[in-house]
Amino acid sequence: MIFRLFILLLFALPAAAEPYQAALTAPWRARIADLAKPQTVSAAFTESRYTPLKKKPVIVTGTVRIDRARGLSLSYDQPRAPVVILDARGLLLRHPDGREQTAPPEAETDLRLLHALFAFNLVTLEKSYALTPTGSPNGAWALGFTRGADSTASYRELILVGEATRLTAITLTKTPNLRTEITLAVTQVDPVFTAADLARYFR
Amino acid sequence: MPRSRRYALCTLLAFTALCGAWLLSLDHRQHFTTDVSELLPADERDPEARLALSLVSERQGRVVLIALDAPDGTSPTALAAAGRAHAAALLASSAFVSAYPLADQSWQQALGRLLHARRFDLLLPGWLAEQRQAYFNENAPASFPDWLATRATAALDAHLASPGAAATTDLVASDPLLLLVSLSDQAAPLAPATAATPNRVLIWAETRDGPLSEAGQQPVFDALTAATTAARVQVPEITARFTGIARFAAAAKESTRAEITHLNTLAIACVLGLTALFLRRFHALLHILPVVLISTLGAIAATTAIFPRVHVLVFVLGSLLSGVAVDYAFQLVLARRENESYADRLRRLAIPLLGGAGTTFAGFLALTVSELPLVRQLGVYVAAGIVVGLVATLLYFSLFPKLDFTPRRVSFNATLPARLRVPLLLALAGLAAVGLTRLRWHDDLRTLEYPSPSLRAEDAALRTAFGQADTGATLVTRGATYAEARTRWQQLADAAPVSSIASLLPTPDAYSAATASATRAELTAFLPAFRAATEAAGFEPDAFNQFQRDFAAHLSEPAAAYEVLLGDTLAHLPGPLALLAHADADGVSFLSTAPRPFTLSAAPEGTLALSGIEGLNQLFSRYRAATARLSLVGIAVLVLIACVLNGPRIGLRIAALPVLATGLAFGVLALRGEPFSLFHLIGALLGVCLADDYAHFAHVDDPAHPQGRAAIRLSGLTTAASFAVLMTSAIPAVAALGATVALIVIFALVFVETDLFSLRPHA
């Protein structure tokens, strides 16, 4: 779950170096630079989890909030689900009863990649994933990250799909029947978070 | 040589040889200790103190925390390899039994494997008890197996929709009842939350031998040095830090040895220097040495003969016995008069000698009934030293009856006019009373330790890195059996937010219910019902094949006895978790922690809170109060002896001198704002006895023979100097004792010189 969330961070990507030089043409670099601009946003999302245990995916919904100073927060619509907070200090699950959990140490590799995406540190991502960009004349695009042979990352493939400067879908794949697909609704840019929102959804 | 002198010489030689042989026959490692915990009685009745002592001597005391720091830019792979090499080198040595680089997560994985393998034994009973309670609460019409299958499937569906489901997909296939998944919240606080530092490896290790034994110190340090060398093969610039009780114990041992040498040397130098000022025949002082040595030898021999283990602090405190023992020699030799035989001199000085030594002996003898081993040992040490010192003085100087120290003539008369005595006495008593109202007790076990600020700082830094904070609460729950301890722990868990390894273990009731034949029959029926329920809920038909196989196998095997199951499980706990439970011949104990201190309204039976050093300090306060009572008994004996020897009128005046000197010393120290402790009390008792000596001799002081006054003056000044030397000790308790005795002796000397108590016979 932790790792499928990171793509949403693409909303808040700060400027970065220019890796994947061989794969990225100038228009792609410009597009990524646009995506990388820090923003404060809020968006609804739908997550489809495919697991070998079930014949059909498990579908959950929620809202993602990004504050340029505080990080990212995911709140699910299920009443007992924790708020997921990702910021410079790492990952935190805040349960409805007030309990707080941090990520287990074994998630360190994936969290590092997650943080690399949060910071749009493609130099770090480049060490674990090969990039395949594709585009169409109508402005739709996709960035495919395929895990390298010597990478210890959990996910074998990450796919980002968008239109112009907007991200619309993310797919995180561990195995063909263990993957997560996330679709994002229309994004609300620069929303005003109240003090209560900040206290509840960030740290 | 007359026969009497031959007997005296033989007696001294035989005694010295006997004591020397006894001391040479001792195994020093067995008989002497520097362990602070041994200052408390092994059979301490306070359960917390007893537990704290047992924890130090048990596995907790053998833990060594190690941090390897590498320079910036070190490759994580090389750093991890260095950590593994370090741990492997420790394991290869005979000094360590376990060593885990915490980043490897190997012990957490070992715990996960252990719990997974025993999930139906350990976790199913509690889960089943909860489900059965819910079943009864719902009053469901379906049979329990069918109801349980539907409920478990619903819980599984809810879990898969939760944010944490992705991390558990592999586990859920073999654990669809979520026994392990739901455990993560309970188990998480049990693992140390180490601070992530990119250039650091943390290693948790356990030594083979206890930290207070020789085998638990130098061999451990050697193994750590060798392990650092092994780590440097991977990262040459790596540096290692470590902490553990062994390090503190070794440092304390070295420091205390140095302290004993330093204090004794300085005390002897002061005594010799002062003596040189007062005596013309300085070389005659060599005659003092045999008496002091025999007195010290006798004290050590008596103490080690009575106590199987003696704390070296007794010798630090007892080193001032040299200052007391020389008193008798000075009094005896300096009081020599021309044309007076040795026997006549003894008869003349018998009462002050017996009175002075008798009161000191009685005062310290009273301490031997103390509960505290240190106080008991000190009582024996000084009491024996006094007796041996007095007898040795009498015998030794009988060999040299004409020995003359030839004191320098000091013309000094500070005698107060009679009319000023009472007003001055009242003023001094008033000052003492005012000071005593400011008296503040502060008992702290740490005042007995040689301060090691750098070790403390490194220890605190390392413990923080290992996630060991002092902000929470620690509790221990004990029981005669696993069943009793687990039941008692449940009472605690129901009343307080605690984490413990006990939460991973079933209660005896739940285990008994889960292993009953009727329950097993229900669970056998549950398996097909669960398969049907999950298929109906959209799960793949074969999704939980492994669970079905494992559960069926579990149900077909006989259940293990509860005590065997828990004992075997806890014996296999890996890494730091192994310290969270302890079983021995006396029973079983579970350690619990809470993130914040809290107060239980009523402590559940078998559970007590460990308050660390504060708890031991309270215990120390109790010992101080007991010692105060004993000291009062000692002073009462002193007054009694003075009255018996001199009659009530003179006896009370003699006794009043040390009492006022002590009150005034306490008052001055209290007005200075000095917090008082057990060691001020011990010092006061010694000071009272010394001051009483001077009062006795002052009473027989003949103005026609000024050498008597010179004897009091010299013995008082040498004693004050040797105790003032103790004030330079880095050990706060020793410094406190030195300050108390030095002040009392100085006040007593001033009282004698001014004849404030009208003790001096007037010509």
Over range B547-569, report the average pLDDT.
94
- Judged by CB atoms closer than 8 Å, whether chains meet at A81 and B163 is answered as yes
Nearest to B616 by CA among B56, B46, B211: B46
Cβ atoms of B544 and B531 closer than 8 Å: yes
Q: Give per-residue pLDDT as tens, B732-757.
A: 888 888 899 999 999 999 998 888 88
Chain B interface, Cβ < 8 Å to A: 103, 105, 157-158, 160-167, 169, 172-173, 185, 188, 193, 196, 538-540, 543-544
pLDDT band at B651 (very low <50, low <70, confident <90, very high): confident
B160, B165, B188 ranked by CB distance to A101: nearest: B188
Q: What six digits make up the tokens of B104?
A: 């490897």
pLDDT band at B190 (very low <50, low <70, confident <90, very high): low
Cβ atoms of B331 and B349 closer than 8 Å: yes
Question: To 10 degrees, the CA torsion angle through B1, B4, B10, B14?
Answer: -170
The torsion angles phi and psi of A17, rounded to 5 degrees, stand at -70, -175
Taking the CA of residue B94 and the nearest CA in chain A, the distance in Å comes to 31
Over range B590-612, report the average pLDDT.
67
User: For tokens 């749009």, what's the residue?
Assistant: A120
Over range B427-441, report the average pLDDT.
89
What is the C-alpha to C-alpha distance for residues A23 and B541, in angstroms, rounded to an integer?
A: 44
Please say if the pLDDT value at position B194 is more than 60.
Answer: no
Please report residues of B whose CB lies closer than 8 A to that of A1.
Answer: 163-167
Over range A72-83, report the average pLDDT.
83
What is the C-alpha to C-alpha distance for residues B642 and B695, in angstroms, rounded to an integer?
A: 10
pLDDT band at B104 (very low <50, low <70, confident <90, very high): low
**Helix and strand numbers, DSSP H then E, in chain A:** 4, 12
pLDDT band at B627 (very low <50, low <70, confident <90, very high): confident
Check residue B155 and give left, alpha or beta (phi > 0: left; psi -120 to 50: alpha). alpha
Q: What six digits make up the tokens of A69?
A: 């100073």
Per-residue confidence (pLDDT) for residue A13, from 0 to 100:
33
pLDDT band at B601 (very low <50, low <70, confident <90, very high): low
Please say if the pLDDT value at position A3 is more than 60.
Answer: no
Higher pLDDT, B404 or B395: B395
Higher pLDDT, A60 or B578: A60
Per-residue confidence (pLDDT) for residue B550, from 0 to 100:
94
pLDDT band at B320 (very low <50, low <70, confident <90, very high): low
**What percent of chain B clears pLDDT 90, i.e. is strictly above it?**
30
Nearest to A130 by CA among A16, A22, A35: A22
Taking the CA of residue A92 and the nearest CA in chain B, the distance in Å comes to 12
pLDDT band at B470 (very low <50, low <70, confident <90, very high): low
Q: By the CB < 8 Å criterion, does A130 face chain B? A: no
End-to-end CA distance of chain A: 20
Over range B488-508, report the average pLDDT.
87
Over range B665-679, report the average pLDDT.
88
- Judged by CB atoms closer than 8 Å, whether chains meet at B172 and A53 is answered as yes
Cβ atoms of B436 and B663 closer than 8 Å: yes
What is the C-alpha to C-alpha distance for residues B692 and B669, in angstroms, rounded to an integer?
A: 21
pLDDT band at B61 (very low <50, low <70, confident <90, very high): confident
Please say if the pLDDT value at position B326 is more than 80.
Answer: no
What is the C-alpha to C-alpha distance for residues B528 and B27, in angstroms, rounded to an integer?
A: 71
Report the run of H or E that residue B346 belongs to, with start and end.
Answer: helix B342-367
- Judged by CB atoms closer than 8 Å, whether chains meet at B162 and A180 is answered as no
Per-residue confidence (pLDDT) for residue A7, from 0 to 100:
32
Helix extents (H) in B451-574: 453-465, 482-495, 508-514, 517-536, 545-556, 562-571
pLDDT band at B167 (very low <50, low <70, confident <90, very high): confident
Per-residue confidence (pLDDT) for residue B239, from 0 to 100:
92
Please say if the pLDDT value at position B437 is more than 80.
Answer: yes
Residues 6 or more apart whose CB falls under 8 angstroms from that of B343 comprise: none
- Tell me which of A59-63, B13-17, B496-500, B552-556 is least confident: B496-500
**CA dist B683 → A185, B456, B694, B717, B739 (Å):** 81, 29, 17, 17, 8
Q: What six digits make up the tokens of B250?
A: 């070794």
Please say if the pLDDT value at position B713 is more than 80.
Answer: yes
Q: Give per-residue pLDDT as tens, B230-288.
A: 999 999 999 999 988 888 878 877 887 788 788 878 887 887 788 788 887 767 778 88
Helix, strand, coil tally for chain A in percent (to 5): 25, 40, 35
Check residue B752 and give left, alpha or beta (phi > 0: left; psi -120 to 50: alpha). alpha
Nearest to B481 by CA among B586, B581, B570: B586
Please report residues of A whose CB lies closer than 8 A to that of B193.
Answer: 102
Q: Roughly what angle, to the nearest 10 degrees, separates helices B342-367 and B373-398?
A: 170
pLDDT band at B196 (very low <50, low <70, confident <90, very high): low
What does pLDDT average to over chain B? 83
Residues 6 or more apart whose CB falls under 8 angstroms from that of B580 comprise: B190, B500, B501, B573, B590, B591
| Secondary structure class of B601 (helix, strand, coil) | coil
Cross-strand pairs, B185: none
Residues 6 or more apart whose CB falls under 8 angstroms from that of B253 comprise: B34, B312
Per-residue confidence (pLDDT) for residue B105, from 0 to 100:
65
Please say if the pLDDT value at position B132 is more than 90.
Answer: yes
Taking the CA of residue A60 and the nearest CA in chain B, the distance in Å comes to 6
Please report residues of B whose CB lies closer than 8 A to that of A4.
Answer: 166
User: For tokens 């009842």, what's the residue?
Assistant: B177
Nearest to B85 by CA among B110, B71, B104, B72: B104
pLDDT band at A109 (very low <50, low <70, confident <90, very high): low
Q: Give per-residue pLDDT as tens, A154-179.
A: 888 888 888 877 778 888 888 888 88
Q: What six digits make up the tokens of A202?
A: 């960030």
pLDDT band at A1 (very low <50, low <70, confident <90, very high): very low
Q: What six digits make up the tokens of B401?
A: 């009856």
Cβ atoms of B31 and B310 closer than 8 Å: yes
Q: By the CB < 8 Å criterion, does A4 face chain B? A: yes
Please report residues of A whose CB lies closer than 8 A to that of B169.
Answer: 51-53, 178
Per-residue confidence (pLDDT) for residue B573, from 0 to 100:
82
Over range B592-617, report the average pLDDT.
64
Report the run of H or E that residue B432 belongs to, with start and end.
Answer: helix B418-437
Please report residues of B whose CB lies closer than 8 A to that of A60.
Answer: 161
User: For tokens 């020793």, what's the residue?
Assistant: B734
Please say if the pLDDT value at position B604 is more than 90.
Answer: no
Please say if the pLDDT value at position B178 is more than 70.
Answer: yes
pLDDT band at B305 (very low <50, low <70, confident <90, very high): very high
What is the C-alpha to C-alpha distance for residues B175 and B155, in angstroms, rounded to an integer?
A: 12
The torsion angles phi and psi of B390, rounded to 5 degrees, stand at -65, -50
pLDDT band at A8 (very low <50, low <70, confident <90, very high): very low
Mutate to test the interface with A, among B153, B160, B547 (most CBs of A within 10 A): B160
**pTM of the shown model:** 0.60
Per-residue confidence (pLDDT) for residue B128, from 0 to 100:
95
Per-residue confidence (pLDDT) for residue B586, from 0 to 100:
74
Higher pLDDT, B732 or B620: B732
Cβ atoms of B396 and B289 closer than 8 Å: no
A52, A55, A60 ranked by CB distance to B538: nearest: A55
Q: Give per-residue pLDDT as tens, A15-36.
A: 333 456 666 788 888 877 777 6
| Secondary structure class of B104 (helix, strand, coil) | helix
Question: To 10 degrees, the CA torsion angle through B132, B138, A96, B162?
Answer: 70
- Judged by CB atoms closer than 8 Å, whether chains meet at B538 and A2 is answered as no
Per-residue confidence (pLDDT) for residue B501, from 0 to 100:
86
Taking the CA of residue A136 and the nearest CA in chain B, the distance in Å comes to 32
**What percent of chain B clears pLDDT 70, i.e. is strictly above it?**
86
Per-residue confidence (pLDDT) for residue B464, from 0 to 100:
79
Per-residue confidence (pLDDT) for residue B600, from 0 to 100:
61
Q: How many residues does chain B have?
A: 763
Per-residue confidence (pLDDT) for residue B380, from 0 to 100:
92
Per-residue confidence (pLDDT) for residue A12, from 0 to 100:
32
